Structure formats: C-alpha cells, structure tokens
Amino acid sequence: MPVMEADKTDPIRAEELKSQANEAFKAHKYAQAIDLYTQAIELNGQNAVYWANRAFAHTKLEEYGSAIQDASKAIEIDPKYSKGYYRRGAAFLAMGKLKEALKDFQQLKKICPNDPDAAKKLKECEKAVMKLKFEEAISVPESERRSVADSIDFHLIDVEPQYTGAKIEGDVVTLDFVKKMIDDFKNQKSLHKRYAFQIVLQVREIMRALPSLVDINIPEGRHLTVCGDVHGQFYDLLNIFELNGLPSDENPYLFNGDFVDRGSFSVEVILTLFAFKCMSPSAMHLSRGNHESKSMNKIYGFEGEVRSKLNETFVELFAEVFCSLPLAYVLNEKVFVAHGGLFSVDGVKLSDIRAIDRFCEPPEEGLMCEILWSDPQPNPGRGPSKRGVGLAFGADVTKRFLQENNLDLIVRSHEVKDEGYEIEHDGKLITVFSAPNYCDQVLSFIHLWWFAIHSLPMVLGKNSLYVDSPFSFQNQVLSCIFLLKLYQ
C-alpha cells in the first residue's frame, strides 16, 4: 500500500486506527483489521509495528505472500524488530519454504536469545529442515518409483470377528454401507482398514480413467450442486447432505477441492466423499484443490491425522489418489469449475487444460499451479498473489478466458467469504466456500439448474440469483442455499 507524504502524517490518528485494528483482529475480523492497519500505515508508514501487525492479519487469511511483503517492510524499517522476523518466518513456514523460515528464526534467536518461544520456533524449524534433507536424500527418482497401490491387496486383510462396523459385501459399495459408515463416524467409530483400502483403491481406478478436465452434461430440468472447501469439517459435510439430500444420480454433487487439512475429521470427510464416488461415480464429482498435495498435508494436519487413524501406507496411498484427481470441470459446455482460478497468460484453451499431465505433485509455476492457487482481484489485469503462489487476475482476464472458450461463467472456491459466497467480475465469476466457522465465516453451496441445455446465455440479475431464507446449523452458523438459474 502507498505511504502518504511526510507532511500528511498523523501519528496520533494512526495509533487510534491501530487500536481499532487490534480490536477487529481480536474479534477475528481479519479483513477489517487489514483495512484499519492500512489506514494507519497511510498516516504513519515508518512504524514497523503496523506492518508486522498487518502481516499477522494476512497470515490469518492465509495470504502468505502479502504477509511476507509486510513483514519484510517491518524489518526494513527496524532491522532489530523481532516480530518482523517472527511474522515472516511463520509465513514462510506456512508456505512450506522451510529454508527461508529457518533464516528468519535464526535471526530472531540472535535478537531475542532468552525468548523461549523464539527458541522453540527455531528448534521446530531446524527439525523440519533436517527431516526434509533426510527425505530428499533417501527419495527414489520419480521414474523408478513404484506405486504403493500396486503393493496392496485388501482381500488379504482379515476382518476380526469382533468388528461390528460398516462392511462392504463383495466389491460393490452400496448406499446402506455408506449410511452405516457415516453413522459409525458420527459415533466416533473407525472404519476397518480393509474397507478403507478398498474404497481408496477403487476411487483411484475411477479417477485415473478421467481426463484432467471433465465434461459434465446436466439434462434439462436437472441440477448439480457445487460445494466449495470443506477442510475436514465432517459434521458440516453432513449438514450439507441433511439440507440438500444425499448424493445420488438424481442429486449429484461436485466438491471443488480442499476436502482435507485444518479440520479434525479429514479422514472421515475424504472416506465419505470417496465412498459416494464408489457407490455412484455420476453422483459425486471431485476436483483437486491446493490442499490435495503432500506439502500442504504435512503442514496442515492431514498427514498426521492419517498416520494416527490409519497407518503410514495410507499416507502414500492418499497422496497417489490426490494426484489422480481432475483439475477442472465444464458443465454443459458453459460453466467452468476449478478450485483456484485463471492463468498468467491469455490464450489458454480448454484443450490446454485437458492436456495437463496432472499425475504429480503440483509444481510451483505453470498452468497446473495456477489453476489450483490463483485468486480474482478487483483491479484489471494481473497482479502478484497475496498467497505467494499463483497470481491475482482481474475481470478483463476472466472475460477474455470465457470469450476465447465460449463459456458463460466461472465457479471457483479457495477463498473464505463473509457470506459463504461472492459474485465478482461483472457477474462472470462466483466463489463458493463451504466450511462454516472457518475464520468465523458461513457455508454455502450452489445449485446449478438447467431448464434448457442449448444456447444458455447467462442472465445474472434479480431474476437469476435467488437466496433462500437462512437456516441454522447445530453450531448456530447461518447458511444459505443459492439457486443460480440459467435461462435460454
């Protein structure tokens, strides 16, 4: 953000704004806090505290690129300001950039040699870097790596007589099994590893047969429900099904990435989604998010949860399956659905996305990285990503992509929204986020109804977007169903 000229500084007013920002931060209103810190910076841009505080607020919104920029500015203003190094190191750590984080925590320890928290962070970072070096040293080249799925035969795993949980009879996952499994999960019971292996291995085969961009046809008068990030919030996933019905061929869903991490029930979420996919592939569609990756799963909890609830083999197996998830969907040749967003160059065609070799961990640049990580911005053109990965793209970029591919609308997820959804870019882009109580936000999901399947121009106005009455969750989170109607 620009800093005002010296003759326009107002340190007293800046302090008042900082205090207001601190209160907003304490209330978990991080976007409001950022705005207030920005106003304080505009009145007194040489106060390192303001920059470091805004960096912390950016971190809470997972805007790590912006956090690093602000923390670096705080360090530039005051090279001995410990919180600048702490904030930047924490942001690097959250991005998985361990070596950069280590440098900041080493400097932090020099500045604050007796600070136990600084010593703890340094020790954690050193341990993570050493583990990374060890893993790199013993890693097998990709060309020589054998699929862990090929080494698993779930038929050889015995089910103990005392096991009373959900069971798959033969090779078919039925609705009765899925319902029983969900009930067991609700009662804090585990699924037997034999059946967990069977589900994950079956999903792997289904997904591997799909292209990187999948076309879905929704018949006239039918609908598809698109859900955003769930992030391991199992009971909120069940709320979606309670409110909108269980997945079926008549009531299909598309979950748009970020099924796992952060929440405490990521294993239950992913096994439930995968089980529905096995039960009826046309009832459950799944796209990859940026959190369906090894690096994110190490940092944000899924790997540890899998190791605790299942075993080490499942850690590798889930990683393989995540690499098989499609990157995007096109609905009735008119609606483009992907987790993150658009690209750093114009001219990207659907055929280019379809041709992406997705069977790998997400790279740090290129089409695959950008489709998982990018975000819309209010300004035209392209800009740096607030996350430090991918990019920010404006309404003009959205318009050109839609025109070049004969599309009408982009539906994406990836960002927390105050109302659970947001319509941007002149009505051509919708963000939907489905993890309630994630930074104190609400949940939403979108029904896409097709009343006609030929020549479907988008009408976005009072007659096209309907918000039903809010309803209450067991945790008192308000939520809305959004009916997006496309007319001929």
| Active site positions, annotated | 291
In 3-state terms the chain splits into helix, strand, coil percentages (rounded to 5) of 45, 15, 40
| CA–CA dist 342, 49 (Å, integer) | 35
| CA–CA dist 95, 92 (Å, integer) | 5
Q: What is the dihedral of CA 140, 388, 31, 375, to 10 degrees?
A: -90
Whether 86 contacts 68, CB under 8 Å: no
| CA–CA dist 475, 162 (Å, integer) | 35
| CA–CA dist 260, 201 (Å, integer) | 18
Q: How far is CA 193 from CA 14, 152, 157, in A?
A: 58, 12, 8
Question: Which has the closest alpha carbon to 377: 346, 340, 402?
Answer: 340
Q: Would you call 297 helix, strand, or coil by DSSP?
A: helix
**Cα angle at 285 between 231 and 346, to 5 degrees?**
85
Q: Is the dihedral of CA 156, 157, 159, 160 positive or negative?
A: positive
H helices present in 64-156, as ranges? 64-77, 82-94, 98-111, 116-138
User: Alpha-carbon Rg of the chain, whole angstroms?
Assistant: 24
| CA–CA dist 283, 135 (Å, integer) | 39
Which residues touch 180 (CB under 8 Å, ≥6 apart)? 165, 166, 167
